[in-house]
Amino acid sequence: MEPEPIELFPRERKQIAPGAVHVPDWLDAAHQRELLRACREWARPPAGLRTVRTPGGGTMTARQVCLGWHWYPYAYARTVVDGDGSPVKPFPDRLRELGRRAVRDALGEGAGQERPGAPVSPYDTNIAEPAPAYDIALINFYDADARMGMHRDSDEKSDAPVVSLSLGDTCVFRFGNTESRGRPYTDVELRSGDLFVFGGPSRLAYHGVPKVQPGTAPPELGLTGRLNITLRVSGL
């Protein structure tokens, strides 16, 4: 086996904006392989990988498969209303647990479960409510030419953080602001195994994928292209 390439400067976890954190190499090689194997199963029909059509008549270049709830522009449904009509595949318990761990590791214990607007007083302990349960996965597959324009993830009713996991080719992930698709934004390189979580004041920030870098996936993973899995809480 080839030795792992050694970084001259190890990539550090970094807060990109308040509530938005990049954790490099969160999934080890074995977990990446396991998740990729599962994605290949989820991508099979019925309710498999599909091309998403937007109301304006365009198509998204990243192809998508959903678990738990079916997303289509711009709502959620229980069946593939804009595809083969099949019921959406169930959301697996192990992704629920993965989402919970990701938020804890990226944002800290209790993150995403504060009582909004709770008064701050020495008599109020702001007792946390049970952590919201992740119940949606959107899995996007990017070939070398695919991209994703700047958008907000705003069709969920819950303000729980979005958890993003990347597999395969490296991409440029552009993380912006809540006001507009333009600047200020930060370009972050997301590599295979990286975690990115955005919640709190960044939950509705615009973000997108301007570029995938073909041929940059770890060879031992066996994926040509890039997969991104976002875990979300529907609140539905």
Ligand X SMILES: O=C(O)CCC(=O)C(=O)O
Query: Which parts of this chain interact with ligand X (CB under 6 A)?
Result: 138, 140, 148, 153, 164, 173, 190, 207, 209, 228, 230
Nearer to Fe ion, 89 or 207 (CB): 207
The CB-of-85 to ligand X minimum distance in angstroms stands at 22
Q: How many residues does the chain have?
A: 236
Nearer to ligand X, 26 or 173 (CB): 173
Q: Which does 173 bind (CB under 5 to 8 A by kind): Fe ion, ligand X, none?
A: ligand X
Nearer to ligand X, 14 or 115 (CB): 14
DSSP 7: P
**83 three-state secondary structure:** coil
**From edge to edge, which strands make up the β-sheet containing 20-23?**
14-17, 20-23, 195-198, 162-168, 226-232, 136-142, 63-67
The CB-of-148 to ligand X minimum distance in angstroms stands at 6
Nearer to ligand X, 129 or 151 (CB): 151
Extract the tokens encoding 218: 């770890």
- Residues in the site for Fe ion, rule: CB under 5 A? 153
In angstroms, the first-to-last Cα distance of the chain is 47
Query: Are 210 and 190 a contacting pair, CB within 8 Å?
Result: no
Handedness of CA 26, 28, 31, 32 (dihedral sign): positive
Nearer to Fe ion, 135 or 153 (CB): 153
The CB-of-132 to ligand X minimum distance in angstroms stands at 18
The CB-of-152 to Fe ion minimum distance in angstroms stands at 7
C-alpha to C-alpha distance for 60 and 184, rounded to whole angstroms: 25
C-alpha to C-alpha distance for 147 and 159, rounded to whole angstroms: 25
Extract the tokens encoding 158: 């819950």
Nearer to ligand X, 96 or 211 (CB): 211
